[in-house]
Homo-oligomer: A and B are copies of this chain.
């Protein structure tokens, strides 16, 4: 099985190892689907779909990585692997995957080393077992090293996000062109899914009228009626990467109030983009956003304007008032001005931005957003 050439150490792992070195970690153990994918280069399917099965990836600072997977997916893992050559399968009913991991740690003579684990993810009873298997190991939190490395996207990662985000942005446009009065939120969700062929998953958040004010609500059978604000947040995934793009439309002609709110949101969006460049600080960007909205008499509905995106939909760096981080080339940000009027309507725009040496480029398609999307005005 297999036949893929074993390739060199991936750029992602080089970045992670640099962070491990700075943090004084001799090894890390990834337990989340995103961090295992970051190290191994592929996702074990039931790591996403079955919370009772553990997938573990050991990465020493020096030396061979190893993957611990459930027997069911051993052949798939062997076929998928690029540079992780050592794969160990366990029986999910009789074996302790952390005992398998501990043996791998001992084989690498790391049983008394400093080992980073995902303290914000590893289950309390798994951690307890791991400590009993490796009583001399010094465990600390590997999360910051992973998040720091993942903030700096490699060219391959940028390309993966760009391809997906471009597809998802076009899907928005195509779905609105096919939307007709009388269709429901679910019908619109279906148009969006149809417009995203070939992706691993596509999850449209669709709210019309008063339901557009609910963050993250799944589409329902509510019909879309003239005058409705339609808020769509389209999350798509491919090979572990995500895109997250939001648009707002009106069925018919927007009211003066809707136009005023949209004008304020997009004005704030533009002012933030005017400052979006290496060295800009996330907190300053957020304050620019808040000040612009405030001048228009609006208050931001979310506690963040933006977030990093990659192997998780949200990751570092956040753009909010609590995070003071200088932007660097290679970071990918979602910026998403949101204004929700509970019980009435909600407005949302969101695109993916790559920070470049000189400023930024939009990884989604840069649909003009100076006006609310107007649907079926002739209808």
Contact = CB atoms under 8 A, between A and B. Distances in A.
A235 B75 contact: no
B121 A314 contact: no
Nearest to A94: B322
Interface stretch (A14-22, A44-52, A357-365): A44-52
Given A93-B320, A216-B45, A201 B200 contact: no
Contact of A215 (B76, B119, B120, B313): B76
A72 B213 CA distance: 11
A123 interface: yes
Contacts of A194: 194
A289 interface: no
A89 B194 CA distance: 35
A303 interface: yes
Of the four ranges (under 10, 10 to 19, 20 to 34, 35 or more), the interface on chain A belongs to 35 or more
A144 interface: no
Contacts of A121: 51, 123
Contacts of A5: none
Contacts of A124: 117, 119, 122-124, 126-127
A175 to B, nearest CB: 15
Contacts of A120: 52, 123, 125-126
A342 interface: yes
Contact of A79 (B71, B92, B214, B235): B214
Contacts of A51: 32, 34, 121, 312
Nearest to A301: B72
A163 to B, nearest CB: 15
B122 A303 contact: no
A93 B322 contact: yes
B122 A76 contact: no
Interface string A77-92: 0010000000000011
Contact of A193 (B71, B76, B193, B320): B193
Interface in A202-223: 203, 205, 213-218
A63 interface: no
A190 interface: yes
Interface in A293-307: 302-304
A76 B303 contact: no
Contacts of A340: 75
Contacts of A79: 214
A191 to B, nearest CB: 11
Interface in A307-348: 312-314, 318, 320, 322-323, 340, 342-343
5 contacts: A34-B51, A51-B312, A71-B303, A73-B216, A76-B215
Please list the 3 inter-chain residue pairs (A to B) with the smallest Cβ-Cβ separation, ordered nearest first: A45-B216, A124-B127, A119-B125
Given A32-B51, A200-B218, 7 more contacts: A72-B216, A76-B217, A93-B320, A124-B126, A190-B197, A190-B198, A201-B201
